[in-house]
Amino acid sequence: MEPAFLYSRKGKESEFLFGTLYKIVLREESKYTGYYDRLDMSFGAYIRLPGDAIIPTFNLNYDNYQIGVSYDASVSDLA
């Protein structure tokens, strides 16, 4: 489990983001030979306050590289 939060402010606007990712290790790093690099994936969601978005997230990590996808799904009345 990887909990995270972010607070940002610009002028009068501010937002607070919090959530967690669940990490699954697919392949451990080789401790002695260095032949295998670590491979894992993470998935979870974040919530943006004041209650206007849910952000599902998926990441794939290989050695020192990461690729991910997320989407801000609006749950407020703002269109």
In the numeric block, which tokens belong to residue 21?
Answer: 């990712």
Q: Residue 79's pLDDT is what?
A: 62
From the CA atom positions of the chain, what is the Rg in Å?
17
In the predicted structure, residue 47 carries a pLDDT above the cut 90: yes
Give tens-digit pLDDT for 20-39. Answer: 999 999 988 777 776 778 89
In the numeric block, which tokens belong to residue 40?
Answer: 């894992």
Distance of CA 12 to the CA centre of its chain: 26
Q: Residue 54's pLDDT is what?
A: 94
pLDDT band, residue 71 (cuts 50/70/90): very high
* 0.85 surpassed by pTM: no
In the predicted structure, residue 53 carries a pLDDT above the cut 70: yes
Amino acid residing at 48: R
